[in-house]
Chain A
Amino acid sequence: MTGPQNLLEIKNLCIEGRSGTSWSNIVNGIDLTLERGEVIGLIGESGAGKSTIGLAAMGFARDGCRISDGTILFDGIDLRAASVSARRKLRGNRIAYVAQSAAASFNPAYKLIDQYCEGPVLHGSMERDKAESDAIELYRRMQLPSPDEIGFRYPHQVSGGQLQRAMTAMAMACRPDLIVFDEPTTALDVTTQIEVLSAIRDIVGQFNTAAIYITHDLAVVAQMADRIKVLLRGEEVEESDTKTMLKTPKEEYTKSLWAVRTYARPEHPLQSTQETPVLSVENVSASYGDLQVLFDASFDIHRRQTVAVVGESGSGKSTAARVISGLLPPETGTVKFEGERLPPEYKRRSKNQLRQIQMIYQMADTALNPKHRIRELIGRPAELYLGLRGKALEERVRELLSLIELEPDEYIDRMPSELSGGQKQRIGIARALAAEPQVIICDEVTSALDQLVAEGILKLLDQIQDKFGLAYMFITHDLATVRSIADEVVVMKEGRVVETGPKTKMFTPPHHPYTELLLSSVPEMDASWLDRLLESRANKNVEK
């Protein structure tokens, strides 16, 4: 076993997944090679089989999956043919794994450092005390705060971004040849994501570790990978080095993925500032129990306008929506609809007031009653608010279905479980429209969807807005979405409104410092973006 040899060589990998009693292919004939020290990015939408392939590179298949064909050679060892114990000796030792949710993937019963040391001690590469000092060294290299001490905390005592770095350090414990990163930053806020990305990139570079980097975010993979492989439904679409892939993708599918980020709708300029806003939030403060989550927040929403409310998790943007809808009565401040004060609690609002403000939810799965047919889901608001019955109701439901581009005959009697994620979200839109409201609150409506599907939803929302003159309150954490659909932007941080104004003003400097931080943290489709950003931030710190 001498001479130049690929570290990982996967040929014709096929993996089957069980649904009920039958097996179907979820990964179909994938080839993958990886040299020592090389990073390959696997990118694709949900159901592309990215994680499954990543785990297969460790010779591992989840419950309900099985590797049905192909060869997996790791450093010359055939992982499929190897004995169970031989595979176990490799895992955590020469091939390591970093999971998507560090919070869930650390065992809550043990301190971080105990979990770090488990691998080296188990595989016999280090004694316990040696492993401990090594852990502290790696925590330091991962730029974790107080590295001497952080390992002696329990997982629930450490923040998400720090846990993700601690998990990367843990993966490094045995100095593996290969690490599989499975969407390590997906659950994090953009500003935290930067720190984790740069830490991961540094350490992988320092130890010359090869990596498989799995993500659905193009801009992220562009920063991390030497080569990119695009996957669709368990099959390879194309593969090339990162630069080529970004500049000149060959396949239509890849091009469409790339194009999503460029969608923008024409702005709707505000007709006159004199007009009464459809909805105004005035000096609202609100709390959950003792915890105050909204501090003196104010903003207006005008007819035909989309107001994007942006912020990271915990910024209070969803709380604002709960106050408007009447689910969380504010402690002080008022919500006005067309200049009239709305009762703070939804139970006190009239049917007509309820009808005027509708919600579309992030998770279409839980927003539609799984035991109701589409007919009832869409028809109920029309029946309740507008008194439609029988034939008129059926007509209305069909009309709404056509509006959301679903064939009425085919869909009217389906159950939610018989729809795809994007279709469910469309039903959510139709249900809101059925009430014939003035304002629709869209709470992260696209964040659970794949990019192409999300784009379709955004376009649909735009068409509907033009047609009915609706006002949208669009809650999102994604600045790309803001850029493509907003007229006005409200930036929130820790329960406070930091900045408001028209989109164009928002995206042109000078920015509010927090807006600046947010804007600069959004990964760009440019392989050198992360380097430039880190450099510019470092310079700023020097200036200070």
Chain B
Amino acid sequence: MKIIKSLRTAPPTAWFGFVVVTIYLIVAIFAPLIAPYGEREIVGDEYVAWDSQFIFGTDALGRDMFTRLVFGARNTVGIAFVTTVLAFVVGAVFGLLAAVVGGWLDQLLSRTVDVLMAIPSLIFKLLLLTIFGTSVVNMVLIIALIDSTRVYRLARSVAMNIVVMDYIEAARLRGERLPRLIIREILPNAMAPLVAEFGLRFCFVFLAISALSFLGLGIQPPTADWGSMVRENASLISFGDITPLLPAAAIALLTVAVNFIVDWMLHRASGLKD
């Protein structure tokens, strides 16, 4: 209700964000209905130029670019979403726990996270991928693990600010147990920053997956994926063909959209305070 009400006053950038995200969702859900061909189907010659049959031409193996773009929405965005949810749940749960319980648990978790965060994230991901091998499942787990440390930091600091409030002290003195303390007393007050963090985290994860796929270390062919599509067709750029920019633009557009929404939400949250 409140969201719908405040949407009316949302700036055009936020509106743009919502429209784009909705379109991506529709494309991802109805991909098989929208795409003219099969995801991995070879339908023509290699590198066919844009025409009425293949609106964005074909790729190096003669697969329809448009079809693969559509399926990419499902694969790339879907995998990024699952990874984000994983990272978020792990990070948020531990972050909240650390803030509320404090003491040795907080020390243990925070110092561990400090160490994990002392290695640049992309480098750490590459190292772990080398050890465990490049597969989608490994990638999802590795990215989720590493990004959960960032979520942990944020969730902990947000919760720390809430934990010092008198109403939490009152709840503790009342004798409330830990689960209720976290779920009923803290979580409702941490929702706004956590939701924003989810959006931001999605962007980071999405970009990370795309980067890994682009480097050939993420989602593997023949699965249609935007990062690897850029890689596979990159050579066309030097011939002045913008086709390989399409999947890259698809990635950029979604990230921009999500960022616009998050920006508006953060702005709104900070505006409500004063």
Contact = CB atoms under 8 A, between A and B. Distances in A.
26 contacts: A21-B9, A64-B274, A327-B169, A327-B173, A346-B172, A346-B173, A346-B175, A349-B175, A351-B175, A354-B173, A359-B169, A359-B170, A363-B166, A366-B165, A366-B167, A367-B166, A367-B170, A369-B167, A369-B171, A369-B189, A371-B189, A372-B188, A380-B174, A381-B174, A384-B176, A435-B174
A14 to B, nearest CB: 23
Pick from A21, A359, A369, A371 the residue with the most CB of B within 10 Å: A369
B185 interface: yes
Nearest to A346: B173
Contacts of B167: 366-369
Interface string A342-386: 000010010100100001010100111111100000001100100
Shortest beta-carbon contacts, A-B, top 3: A371-B188, A367-B166, A369-B167
A326 interface: yes
A359 B169 CA distance: 10
Contacts of A21: 9
A431 to B, nearest CB: 8
Contact of A384 (B166, B169, B175): B175
Chain B interface category by residue count = 10 to 19
A377 to B, nearest CB: 9
A325 interface: yes
Interface of B: 9, 165-167, 169-176, 184-185, 188-189, 274
A326 B166 contact: no
Interface string A128-162: 00000000000000000000000000000000000
A78 to B, nearest CB: 31
Given A351-B175, A354-B175, A370 B189 contact: yes
A370 B168 CA distance: 11
Interface string A438-472: 00000000000000000000000000000000000
Interface in A411-447: 431, 435
Contacts of B176: 384
Given A325-B173, A361-B166, 5 more contacts: A346-B172, A359-B173, A363-B166, A366-B165, A367-B170
B174 A366 contact: no
A351 B173 CA distance: 10
A384 B170 contact: no
Contacts of B171: 369
Nearest to A370: B189
Interface in A56-105: 64
B6 to A, nearest CB: 10
Interface residues of A, number: 24
B229 to A, nearest CB: 44
A369 B188 CA distance: 9
Contacts of A435: 174
A380 B175 CA distance: 11
Given A21-B9, A371-B189, A366 B172 contact: no
Contacts of B184: 372
B175 A366 contact: no
Contact of A326 (B173, B185, B188, B189): B173
Contacts of B185: 369
Contacts of A431: 170
Interface string A316-335: 00000000011100000000
A431 B169 CA distance: 14
Q: Which of A346, A363, A371 has the most CB of B within 10 A?
A: A371
Contacts of A349: 175
A370 B188 CA distance: 9
Q: Which of B170, B184, B188 is most buried by chain A, counting CB atoms within 10 A of its CB?
A: B170
Contacts of B170: 359, 361, 367, 431
Nearest to B185: A369
Contacts of B169: 327, 359
Contacts of A381: 174
Contacts of A361: 166, 170
Contacts of A327: 169, 173
Contacts of B189: 369-371
Contacts of A354: 173-175
Nearest to A428: B170
A372 B274 CA distance: 20
Contacts of A367: 166-167, 170
Contacts of B188: 369, 371-372
Contacts of B166: 361, 363, 366-367
B245 to A, nearest CB: 40
Contacts of A346: 172-173, 175
Nearest to A381: B174
B68 to A, nearest CB: 45
A351 B176 CA distance: 10
Nearest to B274: A64
A372 B180 CA distance: 13
Contacts of A369: 167, 171, 185, 188-189
Contacts of B9: 21
Contacts of B172: 346
Nearest to B165: A366
Nearest to B188: A371
Nearest to A367: B166
With most chain B CB atoms within 10 A of its CB, the pick from A326, A368, A380 is A380
A219 to B, nearest CB: 30
A325 B171 CA distance: 12
A537 B170 CA distance: 44
Interface string A164-206: 0000000000000000000000000000000000000000000
Contacts of A359: 169-170, 173
B264 to A, nearest CB: 15
A327 to B, nearest CB: 7
A431 B174 CA distance: 11
A363 B169 CA distance: 13
A24 to B, nearest CB: 16
A164 B171 CA distance: 38
Contacts of B165: 366
A348 to B, nearest CB: 11
Contacts of B274: 64
Nearest to B172: A346
Nearest to A64: B274
A233 to B, nearest CB: 21
A57 B173 CA distance: 48
A40 B189 CA distance: 44
Nearest to A431: B170
Nearest to B190: A371
A21 B173 CA distance: 41
* Most chain A CB atoms below 10 A, which of B165, B166, B185, B189: B166
A158 B124 CA distance: 48
B77 to A, nearest CB: 32
A64 B185 CA distance: 32
A327 B185 CA distance: 18
